[in-house]
Structure 1
Amino acid sequence: MADKTIPIFVPSEKPVKLAKWKIKQGTVVTQGQVLFLYKDLAGDGEELKKFKSSHAGTVSSIKVKEGDVVEPSSAVADLEECRHPTVMMEMCAECGADLRSEETKKLDVAIVPMVHSVPELKVSEELAQKLGKEDAERLLKDRKLVLLVDLDQTLVHTTNDNIPPNLKGVLHFFLRGPGGPGRWCHTRLRPRTQEFLESAAKNYELHICTFGARQYAHAVAELLDPEKKYFSHRILSRDECFDPRTKAANLKALFPCGDNMVCIIDDREDVWRHAANLIHVRPYSFFQSTGDINAPPPIEEKPKLTIGKNGTQPQVQEMPTLDAEPDENLEKPANNFEKPTEGSNGKVIKEVMEEKPVDIKEGNEKIEEVELPPAEPVWTETSDGQIEVEDPDDYLIYLEDILKRIHKHFYDVYDKMGQKQIPDLKIVIPEVKSEVLTGTSLVFSGLVPTHQKLETSRAYLVARSLGAEVTQDFTDKTTHLVAVRAGTAKVNTSRRITEKKSSKLHVVTPDWLWSCAERWERVEEKLYTLQRGGQSSCRRPPAHCSSPPPPPAPVAALRRRTPSGRFMDTINPLLSFSSDDIADMDREVEDIFNESDESSTDDEKPSQDDVDDEENLKEDQLIRIDEESTQDRLQETQDSSNESENDEEQPRPRKRPRKSTPPSDEEPPDDDDSSWNLMGAALEREFLAQD
């Protein structure tokens, strides 16, 4: 905490008597604080004077007792200067020094923000390492790990659209924006969220990491954990993120001793840079027309016209603002909502709120409604007037089991190491996942394109991450054939193999492999058996099941030597010239061409006959003449074909007669072939210019 020791000398050139100490050894003093009282022996000797500290720090030692006479060159105490280990809003929390001054800016102040929701509170690296080590020891003593939990489309789904106020299971809250009227947020918790949090809190210390704003993050945390027994103050929002596009930048500050004990659950792996300790969960979507409202904008993404929310017209603003009267708006539905009426099939019919896709044509404001697909959720009205929507999502059941297995595997490895070394979850989590399909051997049919190698396909990477072996053709160890459709050569071969072998060869659809990757367990093959004449539409794995491996570290390419062995021969010679040299060379080339043009102009002065000649016409005139000649030739061909029956001996005209001029001695004779060549060249240039 303190490195520099400053001796405190008597502020006088003559001996003084130290009357009384105002501090003790180990006291933290601030700049300007009184340290002791003294008497000047050169004067009357009765007046007490105060000695104030010129630096902030800790009194390490006191060398003079009260009543002793101190010589001018003697030190009365030693002060260890404060290194400002804890800073709050540019002010030291220990000595109270203002760190905005020029003197303190030169010191090594605290730079690590370890508190999630208070980024202004920072500590030094030394103190951060100490606190991080204490946290790790506490977690190991309680046999717990750290779990970073994402909110949007992981545990909750939020929309800003207008929805019925009596939608069952949807929580409403109002967020006031700075300088704006604010907006309504409607949040649906994922099924079994409370049971999941209660189970995970037994083995993990829960932290919230979201790209939502601070106000939004704390509002949703209040809905999830009203008693603050799961997350407490451990909430990291977009306002505290160092990088607006990734959450991984904050890991070093939150866990200065390393993230070996940190597990992450999120529906997006790109914001964590495809970390190995991430569990890519299936995105939760309850409001069919809304995605992640707090997702970071993609890089170089151009705005596109989107379909309106809930079948309405597209809105220009991403988040509509509402009136700043939360109580009245909560009790009264919006004017767009009509009272739900029950149709003949028992479904709730609403004129505005039905989830119908629309077809928007460019340049036409008319919106054409189409029929609902059969996979849309069914809306029903309960007896108490609430609208209930079927929500079959059950992913948290499997995620809870995955976290339990990871926790058990981590502490099994920790115990085997004799509790002397902390395992790394970036190694433990892939090991747990690789146990899912251990002992199986897969063969693919229709999953990998013919022009792609098997080892580079997504299906191969998914199967290998689950611990399965993948071969191109059948072997004695083959246990599964994953086929897209029936009737292929491999499917027919599998039937013959099944008849010969005693063990059964499972022929399943790709959905079986994707389900195993999603649940991290071997799913029953009977649920995904390939039927005769059947075909699967899921050729590619879902996004949350096909996590690509992290990119390899860039390797510096070896420099190729030339036969001469000189380095200069490998450099482009143009790179050795400066921009001024290249500009001078360009001017020299232009001067040479200008001189040649002037000389040719002086030597060759065309006569009036040459200008009027058809061979010296401009390109557009040549094209017009060629078009006229083409039409004349077509007309003459038709006339000749009609007259051929009456007069077969009449010669057929081959060329259009051209105007002739008397030849002169100075110019060459008129040549029809040369004029046709010029016109053909002009037409060729015209077509090339159009392409």
Structure 2
Amino acid sequence: MSETVSVELPTSLPYPIRITRVLADGEVQRGTALLEYAFTSDEARKELAKGGKGEWDMVGSWDSAIEGRLDRWEEWVKPGTRVERSKIALWLEQSCSHPVQLHGMCGVCGRDLTTDDYLTRGGPSKYAGSYEMSHDSLGVTVSTNEAKRLENVTKETLLSSKRLSLIVDLDQTIIHTTVDPTVGEWIEQGKKALEDVAKFHLPDDVPLGYTAPDRWYYTKPRPGVNQFLRRMNELYEMHVYTMGTRTYAEAICNVVDPDKTFFGGRIISRDENKSFSSKSLKRLFPTDQSMVVVIDDRADVWGEIPNLVKVVPYDFFIGVGDINKADSMAQTKLLDAQSEDRPLAKESEPLNNDDAELERVAKILAQIHSTFYRAYAQRVKDTIPMGCDVEVIIPDIKSRVLEGCTLVFSGVIPKHQAAETSGIFHAAEMFGARTMLDVGPGMTHCVTATVGTEKTYRASRMDAAVVWVEWFHKSIALWKRQDERAFSINGAESSTSPKQVENGIPEDGVDDGGLDNLLDGWDESADAELQAFMEGSSDYGEDTESVGSVPGSPSKKRVRYADEESLPLESFRDPPEDQDWAGDSDDRPAKRRLLLEAPTGDYVPEGNRFQWDGKMDENPTAEDDLFAQMLEDSLDSEIS
């Protein structure tokens, strides 16, 4: 049975293009030239930017990746038309559109679709427009049109039950796993915090040719995970997407979902994903992600997708981290090292069960769901409103977190990086804040990693909050603006003590061994000497604070940070003459002056010249005699 399918211009064409000739008519084979076009080369673009000429200096052709009989061209396709992006250009009638393929063979007509030529694309299927959509790795792919049809079916099912799709990561999102044998010993000792820790073997989870020790995996479910999954199951259809192996993912699901109520068989592991470093929504939803939400403790594996709700990592086993962050062989070595080194036995407080993150995430997911279906309830007939799109809803929620805040950063951005292109500027704007390069009218917050910068001093004299950078990080991590009073530099020191920075780059200091050596012999007198130096008097008197210091803070040497490079030198000069001084005016120290003029060219200022009139002083002083004797002794010693 024949089928008419649409064919779009490839996204890989060098847009914008101008159609010069329409070629295809009648039968179309794989590789048939459909049309020719002109485009502008990079060199010509540079010339055009300078006011030169040379537009449309290159030509190319668009070749068909599929076969069929031409049904019709779209009306806009004609010579001279300028095209800015990919869109449907023609329709082909195919005897078989190969909607489903199995290991490169069409599941309908049986044709081999593994042709390897210049039109071959990468990915799960070499045949153009084919996608893997199944959760397993059986080699089943579908065509673009079939993918759209299947996703429309899924969408109708979800809309009828008022649900969305939720992709759930495992490690450090809803569980935490270790292979440290110390945990097994603690379980035998009856530690209360380990009552719900699951224990299992993965005998086949070892690369070929590598013999691993007989080890146990210990998995701690995140506090509240059962209530979380039960609540989300009412609002979302959930899928597991993990960097762990298939056997590991199934073992974890047996822990958190033993009855397969929440996830069923909807699991994608590294075996199906075929990547150790990235995840993709198109693996499950190739053509439409408007109803898909992702929760994961890692944003880097997803790239910049608007569907992500980042979760604060769950660290129950302190210092263990994510056991599935490496590739297969590296992971096996990492697990062996963890089993042998027993890092938990070296920690003074190795377990951390103080966690309520899933409660926060559940509120955000519920808000996304209610916003989507509130917009859907306002639809006209069968038209879905633009507000029914997770990729619009999530950025909108994030943009309200710091709405109304205008931030200036001090001592935070590395000196070599432009502030406007820094990640912290991008994050601030993503969460609704405005950013400024310097302290000025309209600023509401000065966010700093250290005290004593010019910006913190000037901001403290204005009606603005001067807060530690932890205020910003915690606000965007929790999607909730934090109370500035708890992070004020004038209040109590933050729980994560800010590190001093130099040139905008935090100093992590030396390692523990080096620090111990450095502090050998350090006593109270040395500490008092350091404190006296840090609080020592400036050139203007002992009771005068140093220029640029935050009022009330010890006087320190001034440092210009990376984000102060553009400040005028006036901000760093001596205090003005009319500054108030304690005591009488006679106590005011003399203003420092240059004693000598700087030479310019060949000219040597009068005060810099050494002149001798050829005459000896007739009345030498005792000091002159002493100097002459010292000079004579020095010359004698050199001669001898």
Report the alpha carbon displacement of residue 404 of structure 1 after superposing the two structures with TM: 2.2
Matched, 1:420 2:384: yes
Query: Bigger radius of gyration, 1 or 2?
Result: 1
Equivalent position of 2:400 in the other structure? 435
Map 1:286-435 → 2, pairs under 5 A = 286-297=316-327, 317-320=333-336, 354-356=344-346, 377=349, 389-415=351-377, 418=380, 419-421=383-385, 423-435=388-400
Report the alpha carbon displacement of residue 398 of structure 1 after superposing the two structures with TM: 2.0
Deviations 1:370-418 (A, max 9, x none): xx6xxx536xxxxxxxxxx442222222222222222233334445564
Normalised to the residue count of structure 1, the TM-score between the two structures is 0.49
From 313, 331, 344, give the equivalent of 1:283: 313
Equivalent position of 2:154 in the other structure? 135
From 233, 245, 266, give the equivalent of 1:234: 266
Are the equivalent residues in 1 in contact too, given 2:182–2:344 (CA < 8 A)? no
Report the alpha carbon displacement of residue 137 of structure 1 after superposing the two structures with TM: 1.6
Report the alpha carbon displacement of residue 255 of structure 1 after superposing the two structures with TM: 1.8
Map 1:75-114 → 2, pairs under 5 A = 85-86=99-100, 111-114=130-133
Look up the SS of the partner of 1:477 in the other structure: coil
Which whole-Å CA distance do the structure 2 matches of 1:449 and 1:92 have between them?
55
Look up the SS of the partner of 1:286 in the other structure: coil
Report the alpha carbon displacement of residue 134 of structure 1 after superposing the two structures with TM: 0.8
Which whole-Å CA distance do the structure 1 matches of 2:135 and 2:165 have between them?
14
From 528, 531, 537, give the equivalent of 2:490: 531
Which whole-Å CA distance do the structure 1 matches of 2:442 and 2:151 have between them?
48
Which whole-Å CA distance do the structure 1 matches of 2:218 and 2:443 have between them?
50
From 479, 485, 492, give the equivalent of 1:520: 479
Look up the SS of the partner of 2:170 in the other structure: coil
Which whole-Å CA distance do the structure 2 matches of 1:82 and 1:490 have between them?
68
Which whole-Å CA distance do the structure 1 matches of 2:332 and 2:156 have between them?
52
2:230 is matched by which residue type in structure 1?
E
Look up the SS of the partner of 1:140 in the other structure: helix
Structure 2 gap ranges (5+) = 5-93, 116-125, 507-635
Cα 1:173–1:352 shift into 2, 3 Å: closer
Map 1:253-292 → 2, pairs under 5 A = 253-292=283-322
Query: How many residues get paired?
Result: 393
1:173 is matched by which residue type in structure 2?
F
Report the alpha carbon displacement of residue 482 of structure 1 after superposing the two structures with TM: 2.0
Look up the SS of the partner of 2:151 in the other structure: helix
Are the equivalent residues in 2 in contact too, given 1:85–1:110 (CA < 8 A)? no
Cα 1:257–1:483 shift into 2, 3 Å: closer
Cα 1:163–1:478 shift into 2, 3 Å: same
Map 1:444-463 → 2, pairs under 5 A = 444-449=409-414, 452-463=417-428
Cα 1:461–1:90 shift into 2, 3 Å: closer
Equivalent position of 1:160 in the other structure? 179
Equivalent position of 1:186 in the other structure? 218
1:235 is matched by which residue type in structure 2?
I
Are the equivalent residues in 2 in contact too, given 1:486–1:531 (CA < 8 A)? no
Cα 1:98–1:222 shift into 2, 3 Å: farther
1:133 is matched by which residue type in structure 2?
N
Cα 1:118–1:529 shift into 2, 3 Å: same
Report the alpha carbon displacement of residue 115 of structure 1 after superposing the two structures with TM: 2.0
Equivalent position of 1:609 in the other structure? none
Deviations 1:173-220 (A, max 9, x none): 111217767642111112222222222222221110111111111111
Report the alpha carbon displacement of residue 472 of structure 1 after superposing the two structures with TM: 3.3
Map 1:505-584 → 2, pairs under 5 A = 505-531=464-490, 536-537=497-498
Which whole-Å CA distance do the structure 2 matches of 1:532 and 1:138 have between them?
54
Are the equivalent residues in 2 in contact too, given 1:464–1:470 (CA < 8 A)? yes
Matched, 1:218 2:250: yes
Pairwise CA RMSD: 4.3
2:333 is matched by which residue type in structure 1?
Q
Deviations 1:212-233 (A, max 9, x none): 1111111111111112121111
Map 1:62-81 → 2, pairs under 5 A = none
Cα 1:454–1:88 shift into 2, 3 Å: closer
Are the equivalent residues in 2 in contact too, given 1:84–1:110 (CA < 8 A)? no
From 186, 201, 205, give the equivalent of 1:174: 201
Structure 1 gap ranges (5+) = 5-79, 304-314, 323-333, 337-350, 357-371, 379-388, 499-504, 543-640, 646-691
Cα 1:253–1:286 shift into 2, 3 Å: closer
Look up the SS of the partner of 2:313 in the other structure: coil
Are the equivalent residues in 1 in contact too, given 2:239–2:267 (CA < 8 A)? yes
Are the equivalent residues in 2 in contact too, given 1:482–1:510 (CA < 8 A)? yes
Which whole-Å CA distance do the structure 2 matches of 1:643 and 1:219 have between them?
86
Cα 1:91–1:476 shift into 2, 3 Å: closer
Look up the SS of the partner of 2:335 in the other structure: coil
Cα 1:278–1:433 shift into 2, 3 Å: same
Matched, 1:246 2:278: yes
Cα 1:132–1:495 shift into 2, 3 Å: closer
Look up the SS of the partner of 1:319 in the other structure: helix
Which whole-Å CA distance do the structure 2 matches of 1:291 and 1:246 have between them?
18
Equivalent position of 2:240 in the other structure? 208
Normalised to the residue count of structure 2, the TM-score between the two structures is 0.53
Which whole-Å CA distance do the structure 2 matches of 1:491 and 1:321 have between them?
46
Report the alpha carbon displacement of residue 518 of structure 1 after superposing the two structures with TM: 0.4
Which whole-Å CA distance do the structure 2 matches of 1:184 and 1:432 have between them?
42
